[in-house]
Chain A
Amino acid sequence: MNPLIPLFVAVPLAGAFLIMILGRFIPFLNRYLAAAVLLFLAFISFWSLIAGGDAASVYKMGGWGLSGGIPIGIYLVYDGFSALVLCIISFIGLMSVIYSMTYMHHYTSRNNFYALFCLMTAGMNGIVLSGDLFNIFVFLEISSISAYALVAFGVGRKELEATLKYQVLGVLASFIILFAIGFIYWKTRTLNIADIRAAFSEGHEKSFYLLVQLMLLTGFGLKAAIIPFHAWLPDAHSSAPSPISAMLSGVLIKAAGIYVIIRLFFNMFEITEGMATVITTLGVISMVLGTFLAIGQWDIKRLLAYSSISQMGYVIMSVGIGMLLTARGIKSDVAALAITGGIFHMLNHAAFKGLLFLNAGAIEYSVGTRDLREMGGLAKSMPVTSATSFVASLSISGIPPFNGFFSKLIIIIAAVMGHFYLLAALAALVSIITLAYFMKFQRYAFYNGNTGKTLKEIKEVPGPMLLSMIILAVACLLLSTLALPAIRDAVLTPATDILMDQMKYSLQITGM
């Protein structure tokens, strides 16, 4: 058993409480301690990804192994899919902490900020690593409560209203999930994901199965902001401080929402055609409606928040295509391609959406406003911000050679090869409209004639903010190398294999 696995959860948890104690006595230590914790996490996650190879590891906490063939302990499972999501959590987290070293000058009680940030990271790592349902619920709550507190960090009127909406909807979702976990326990008498799959494969009633699947899709769909449940996302992501917006929109809706949906629907439930159709439809509606709602926005962060909804629609649509083709039992290599495209787009979106939110924060730090109608001509006075924002806008619109182009290309090719021509046409259309409103953002913010404040007052942002934006822009370029077949087989194919192969996940738990 790999001894590094429990450190992913234990180290940020210890770091959070250590920051609370030490930050009270030594004031400047809190941000360096948070940066040290996240640097350690980034190091071990990338090292485990590169040195781990194809094998998955199962960590049995407390040494409680199998008893009579039934897993009775709490298991932490580290396989190909978890490895990728752990890497993006720690990388985007590290960039946000470096950015917030100088951004958080305006705010007070910075101790609490860094402690809550580490707690949120511990919660997300726990969701990704856990191997049974109730642990997913507990860690989901840890990260959600930290996120509620972080959204309301600068306690003004708008932030409080945004976090109230987020909280009421989030608590509703959590208790629908708990109800669904109760239903599953009633029928299968176990909580381990592999064991539930074994119990379901022996026989189940169709109406009960459908009820549980719909309840879990509602609960986790609300955490992932799919279209009928998206009402909290524009307010929460636009009112939070910018490094928290980057973490929320870049990582939390993926680790707490989409990762769990993919994991449960592929590895726990057997894939049925009705559910696959529902998921694909929700993905298409999110993709199209998110784009149309984003066109008319004049606030930078609300525009970016609505475009998050539409890009998550891409991921869910391509995963739904993979599920449909697997359920019909035809063309399994096209299904694998669709799922690979979805996971690749998830990784890319973390990088460029994080970069875009950090840019919006830099603009707000220098200019003082977020409204696009009140600024202009910033390309001359903020060169680094405008260059990295240009890179990110090209990435999200799907222009080669940046990473967005390759992932959207894989999704569209998979849709065409599976004979879903309407979905491929919609995906291409939404990509063109995305290009349109990001060019609007670029023009009004950076290249317009100079309206508003005079050029002398606007300076470039301080050093640590620039460093994090430049590193993310370089990562956008480097991620496009994942499309090359050699690197793709090493990184993305293990993730797809765990999801597509019907028995591989269960075998690794009951076999060890």
Chain B
Amino acid sequence: MIVYILCFVLFLTGLYGVITRRNLIKIAISLSIMEFSCFLFLALLGYTKGGEVPIVDPADPVKIYVDPLPQAMVLTAIVIGLATTAMLMAVIIRIYRKYGTFDIREIKNLRG
């Protein structure tokens, strides 16, 4: 039970970073921390008591396995997180070339 609460604490840490940091790169890193807490939570869901690694051994096929479906979900979600982070980084580099700064308080053209 306590591991799930620690996952949630990691999520809140990432959220704190997104809200209070001024540097754009730190905001991107905090978003990544939030994603990783979700992956950790999903991977921990599959635990069954006394389970083995879910690879079928042809000699001895009947055992109790750990649930493999959350592991597949986490693999897909890691790929999606990578694509999102890459997109965010490309936009941040373009913003640096246009504005000359990484500070988020300087980027306020659109108002109203």
Contact = CB atoms under 8 A, between A and B. Distances in A.
B83 interface: yes
Given A175-B38, A182-B42, A164 B31 contact: no
Contact of B31 (A148, A171, A185): A171
Contacts of A158: 109-110
Given A152-B91, A161-B95, A164-B91, A171 B84 contact: yes
Nearest to A152: B91
B31 A172 contact: yes
B45 A155 contact: no
A105 interface: no
A168 B18 contact: yes
Interface string A159-176: 011111001100110110
Contact of A161 (B35, B69, B107): B107
A216 to B, nearest CB: 14
A161 B45 contact: no
Contacts of A181: 73
Give the most central of A148, A155, A168: most B CB within 10 Å.
A168
Interface in B23-79: 24, 27, 31, 34-35, 38, 41-42, 45, 69-70, 73, 76-77
Q: DSSP class of A's interface residues: helix, strand, loop or mixed?
A: helix
Give the most central of B84, B87, B109, B110: most A CB within 10 Å.
B110
B76 A182 contact: no
Nearest to B96: A160
Contacts of B110: 158, 161-162, 234-235, 238-239
Nearest to B110: A235
Interface residues of B, number: 33
Interface string B73-112: 1001100100110011001101100110000000111101
Given A168-B27, A168-B31, A134 B73 contact: yes
Interface residues of A, number: 37
A178 B38 contact: yes
Contacts of B41: 179, 182
Contacts of A168: 18, 27, 31, 88
Nearest to A165: B110
B35 A175 contact: yes
Contact of A179 (B11, B69, B92): B11
A174 B15 CA distance: 13
A185 B87 contact: no
A148 B87 contact: yes
Contacts of A297: 112
Nearest to A185: B45
A145 interface: yes
Contact of B18 (A161, A162, A172): A172
Given A171-B84, A172-B31, A185-B70, A157 B109 contact: yes
15 contacts: A134-B76, A137-B77, A145-B84, A148-B91, A149-B87, A160-B94, A161-B108, A164-B24, A167-B87, A167-B88, A168-B88, A179-B11, A182-B41, A185-B45, A235-B110
Given A138-B76, A162-B110, 6 more contacts: A152-B91, A155-B94, A164-B92, A171-B35, A179-B38, A302-B112
Q: Which 7 A-B pairs have the closest CB atoms?
A: A141-B80, A235-B110, A178-B38, A182-B42, A160-B95, A157-B98, A175-B38
